[in-house]
A = this chain, B = another copy of it.
Amino acid sequence: MSQASAARSRVRDAAPLFAALGDETRLRLLFRLSSGGPGSITHLSADSPVSRQAITKHLQVLSEAGLVKSSRRGREHVWDLEPKRLADAHQYLDRISQQWDDALDRLKKLVEE
């Protein structure tokens, strides 16, 4: 795979991931899950100002982005974090800032010569 097409597929993977993080309700859900542990939909929507259905939809979005996963326990659906995916987001940011630092270095050397 060429460098350019690798960059394209990175972007295609990263955009929905960040988009999923780009909503207050969803971020609150993530904070809630990371501090309070796994929980059912009803449980999670009890802490929230919006309706249960809204929470369901948000969990769906987070799930499609790979940030959470669910498992059945009796009649409940219990949702939990998927921390690997957070690490992915980290990596994308690293990649950008690394490129940036490299570019600055090149510029610096160019000026110093």
Instruction: List A residues at the B interface (Cβ < 8 Å).
Output: 7, 11-12, 14-24, 27-28, 30-31, 33-37, 81, 83, 86-87, 89-90, 93, 96-97, 99-100, 102-103, 107
Give A94's nearest chain B residue, CB to CB.
B90
Min CB distance A47 to B, Å, is 11
Given the interface pairs A15-B22, A22-B16, the reply to whether A97 lies near B86 with Cβ below 8 Å is: yes
Partner of A20 from the list B11, B22, B90, B97 (CB cut-off 8 Å) is: B22
Interchain Cβ contacts under 8 Å between A and B, 7 examples: A11-B28, A15-B22, A18-B27, A34-B96, A37-B103, A86-B93, A89-B93
**B35 x A99 contact (CB < 8 A):** yes
